A = this chain, B = another copy of it.
Amino acid sequence: MEQGKLFVLSGPSGAGKGTICKEIVKREGIGLSVSMTTRAPRGVEEHGRSYYFVSEEEFQRTIDEGGFLEYANIYGNSYGTPKKPVMDYLASGRDMILEIEMQGAFQVKTVYPDGILIFVLPPSLEELKNRLIARGTEDEREIQKRLQATLNEIALIHEYDYYVINGDLEEAVDRVRAIIVAEHSKVDKNIGRLTRAYEEEL
C-alpha cells in the first residue's frame, strides 16, 4: 500500500491556520494528529482525543527515546507531537494533518523530511492588526510588537514548500485541498507501483 502523506500547517499566529485545519479534517476526512502534553486536562478535554495527558517523567522519557516529531515548552508546560501514532497512521495509507507553530514545523521537517510544509499567511499586516484589535486582548504597543514579530516570521517562508494566503476562508481551504490532491499526483518514487499495474495487464 502507498504511504499516506503528512501535511504541516503552520505560520504566524492569527493567520487562521487552526480554522483551515479543522475544515480540511472535516471535509477531506484526513487524520488530525493528537499532541502530548504535561498540562492538566481542562473542562471536557479527553485523553487521546484533545491531547495525550502525561506526566513530566513520561514526556521526558519520550524525548530521550527520540519519540517526538517536535516538542516545545510553552509557559512551563510541555507539548509535543508523538512520532509513532503519526507514522502508524501514514503507514495505513491515510494522510495526516498537523497544525503547529513555526519552530515545531521546522523540527518536523528535520525528523521527517517527507512532511509537506504549508505556510498560512494573513492577507495583510493591516488585516492581522484588525483581527488583533477585534480580539481585544492586547494593547496598541503589544500589537505593534506582534506585527514586527509576524514580519520576522514571514521572512522564514523560504523554509516552506507551499504558501496559502488566508483572506477568504473558502478560498484558503480550497487551496490547501488542491495542494493535497497535487501532492498525490506527483510522479515520485511510488510511481513504479502504478506502471507495474499496467504491465501486468498485458
Chain A contacts to B: CB under 8 angstroms: 119, 121, 124-126, 147-148, 150-151, 154-155, 157-158, 160-164, 174-175, 177-179, 181-183, 185-187, 191, 194-195, 197-199, 201-202
Contact = CB atoms under 8 A, between A and B. Distances in A.
A181 B151 CA distance: 25
A125 B185 contact: no
A108 B167 CA distance: 36
A138 B198 CA distance: 21
B187 A181 contact: no
A157 B119 contact: no
Contact of A161 (B126, B158, B187): B187
8 contacts: A124-B201, A125-B201, A125-B202, A147-B202, A151-B202, A154-B195, A174-B181, A175-B181
